[in-house]
Amino acid sequence: MLEHALELKKPLHDTTMIEIFKIFHRATEEMSKSQSVTLSSSIPVYNVLLDHLEKLLDKQHKEHCSIPEIRTAIAKGYKKLKTYYAKTDESCVYPVATILDLRMKLKYYQQQQWEQEYIDAALDVIRNVYNDYCQVNSLAINDSSIQEHDQNNFFGMFEISNDSSKENELEEYLRKPVINFKTNLLQWWKAHEATYPHLSAIARNFLVIPDISVPVERIFLAEPI
């Protein structure tokens, strides 16, 4: 009976390992889709993987891993993943990309039950970025207007623009509901560039930041050395 149990032990461990890594395989496949994945995919993927490992470590959960050796490896993996996840707080790119992902916006933070102070912090980040973009763009427009203005109309250069729609771009965007997850973000922002000129510019700069190196690696692998 003991010999039979030992024979079953390895297949049992193999099955457990397959179940543990299945979700990592799926995450890698999704993140490797260079045509659709944007930086905003990072936070949801981190959360899914962390939740998965937490269940495996939780003795009260039905998915708890009871094999000591594997559980030790899971704990180390969880710690490492948390280390990288914490680094997303060090940059403004993640909250900006997440909020400009119209499939998630602030709704994602709320559904994940983030504390309000963290949601407010993310909102402050994108407002600051938005204001910076508006200011830079406004200065560029004013400089251009002064240079091209009729030299005979001296006081005309001091005319005040009555375009208030740009000031409300971000707030208007945030009021709109989230959309289907199958939507291509970059195509959507391109199509709505006239409605959200400033936000579209920000989206182009932030959403195209590579999440991982997989699509880039394909280029090198395809080229002969």
Residues 8-63 pLDDT 10s = 445 556 677 788 888 888 888 877 765 556 788 888 889 999 999 999 999 888 88
In this predicted structure, the answer to whether residue 86 has a pLDDT above a threshold of 50 is yes
> Is pTM beyond 0.85 here?
no
d(CA 178, CA 83): 30
Phi-psi label, residue 72: left if phi above 0, alpha if psi -120 to 50, beta otherwise: alpha
Concatenated DSSP letters of 83-99:
HHHHGGGG-SHHHHHHH
- Domain-wise residue ranges, the chain: 1-90, 91-225
Residue whose C-alpha is closest to residue 178's, from 105, 110, 97: 105
CA torsion sign for 80, 82, 87, 88 is positive
**The pLDDT of residue 66:** 84
Q: Check whether 221 has a pLDDT greater than 50.
A: no
